[in-house]
Chains A and B, each alone.
Chain A
Amino acid sequence: EPEVTQTPSHQVTQMGQEVILRCVPISNHLYFYWYRQILGQKVEFLVSFYNNEISEKSEIFDDQFSVERPDGSNFTLKIRSTKLEDSAMYFCASSRRDTRAGELFFGEGSRLTVL
């Protein structure tokens, strides 16, 4: 069964450092998403991405965050200057289409710890 893969599974970084989280969506999917879950809190939508541009973003997704699809397979989330409050589990998801039938497939997540 095809799946969304994420790397790294866990990253520890110092405050102020740049972090890139990587995702390989399912190959024939066209819509890509990032979500995050701060420990003990809800899973929150960050951004959706289609046709090489952001289609929707939440208020969490400020100028410190960016997303990119640098090649035909990877989908990345970059945090330019990490803060303590960026510590969270980050989930990538993809779907084949943005319709009612477009089920989201999630990766297992990347845990980011900012010290």
Chain B
Amino acid sequence: AQSVSQHNHHVILSEAASLELGCNYSYGGTVNLFWYVQYPGQHLQLLLKYFSGDPLVKGIKGFEAEFIKSKFSFNLRKPSVQWSDTAEYFCAVNAGGTSYGKLTFGQGTILTVHP
């Protein structure tokens, strides 16, 4: 069975700092990759996704992620964070051959951005 690991439980940054959140997965076959974000008091929402093609994908609010197949990684980046980026971020994987809605989540990374 596939698993997803996020390296950091809690990241604290100042505004304008650069962000990189690590995500690694274990699954040898075709995968679809996602980052979800949950702002305080809100629902999980999709930040970006990768299915195929260009391994560098861009999402909403200036976020991007890079799929490195050889490293089984899908790290999330943002060059300059804002206070409004404070949220919990979840990496998720969908294994090929299963329902596209069946996601395996990482444990989440809480991002706190200080103004």
A interface residues with partner B (beta carbon < 8 Å): 3-4, 31, 33, 35, 41-45, 48, 55-56, 91, 93, 95, 98-100, 102-109
Interfacial chain B residues near A103, Cβ < 8 Å: 46, 49
Count residues on chain B whose CB falls below 8 Å from chain A CBs: 24
Pick the contact of A107: B32, B43, B92, B106 (CB < 8 A). Answer: B43
For A99, the closest partner residue in chain B by CB is B100
Interface pair A56/B43, CB less than 8 Å apart: no
B67 interface residue per 8 A CB criterion: no
Interface pair B43/A3, CB less than 8 Å apart: yes
**Shortest Cβ distance from residue A52 to the other chain B in the assembled complex, whole angstroms:** 16
Interfacial chain A residues near B102, Cβ < 8 Å: 33, 45, 48, 56
- Report the number of A-B residue pairs with Cβ-Cβ less than 8 Å: 61
B interface residues with partner A (beta carbon < 8 Å): 4, 32, 36, 41-46, 49, 51, 90, 92, 98-108
The listed residue with most B CB atoms (<10 A of its CB), out of A31, A45, A99, is A45
Known: A4-B43, A107-B43, A108-B42. Is A95-B100 also a contact (CB below 8 A)? yes
